[in-house]
Amino acid sequence: MRDASKRNILGVLIDAVDYEAATDFVFLAAREKRSAAISALAVHGLMTGVFNREQKFRLNHFDLLLPDGQPVRWALNLLYKAKLKDRVYGPNLTRRICERAAAEGVPVYFYGSTPEILSLLRQEINKAWPNLQVAGMEPSKFRRLTVNEKQELVERIRNSGASILFVGLGCPRQEIFAFEFREMLGMPTLAVGAAFPFLAGAINQAPVWMQNAGLEWLFRLVSEPNRLWRRYVYLNPAYLFLITLQALGLSRFAPDGKSPAEELLYG
């Protein structure tokens, strides 16, 4: 499924798959105890690969890159007639995986965010999926890890008994984390963006109609203007311009990147 589903969007290889296919992939990897790097990419995440060749290399070595944002889904449908009826939104994918993991007895681990967010997240998980086996929750250190800290973190996650790892470090740190840790963990690693605070109820999500219309960015911009204005003011117009060039055949975007010169060990 993986190679057959990949489509070139501005040089980043996005998988034209839906929630069901993505969820099945995660649980197959979990059953096989197989490492797999997975991310749900909106425009911001995709554009990090467009403007940084090392990040493009990382993203294009993921097992699954999912169309988190509606504009990414629209691009797949426009350029490749993918006929995707919905995006694969990180928070909703996390909900679906938690629901299935609770039903099938598959332990999960949450890494990232703050102790306060994780405490709220645990409360909400206990309400929504009381049977979910949470093998561990660990906040981000909000800095680069040492080599020893990386190895210790890997051992904690592996020894916890978890079969699925959710990572919420923010873009692009979480994708860098998933790329650099992917071969050491022996389980699917999902970079799920703002899923932790959304599921914890710490940040309000956009109304469904805004999400469906591709206007979630506007809701978030109004909610957090100081933090997000640069992301949306610069990246959204750039994305639309470049997609237009690709659609008209005026520019080709090669998927080759540049192998990272060093590990960044974001944690």
> What is the Cα–Cα distance from 259 to 16, expressed in whole angstroms?
25
Q: How confident is the model at residue 2 (pLDDT cuts 50, 70, 90)?
A: low
Residue 168, in any domain of the structure: yes
Residue 224, in any domain of the structure: no
Residue 260, in any domain of the structure: no
Residue 90, in any domain of the structure: yes
Residue 77, in any domain of the structure: yes
Residue 205, in any domain of the structure: no
Give residue-wise pLDDT tens across range 134-154: 999 999 999 999 999 999 999
Helices (H) and strands (E) in the chain, counts: 13, 8
Tell me, what DSSP letter sits at residue 259?
-
In single-letter form, the type of residue at position 244 comes to T
| Span 102-109, average pLDDT | 98
Give residue-wise pLDDT tens across range 182-224: 899 999 999 998 899 999 999 887 788 888 888 887 777 788 7
Number of structural domains, the chain? 1
Residue 208, in any domain of the structure: no
What is the domain extent for residue 67?
Answer: 2-200
Residue 175, in any domain of the structure: yes
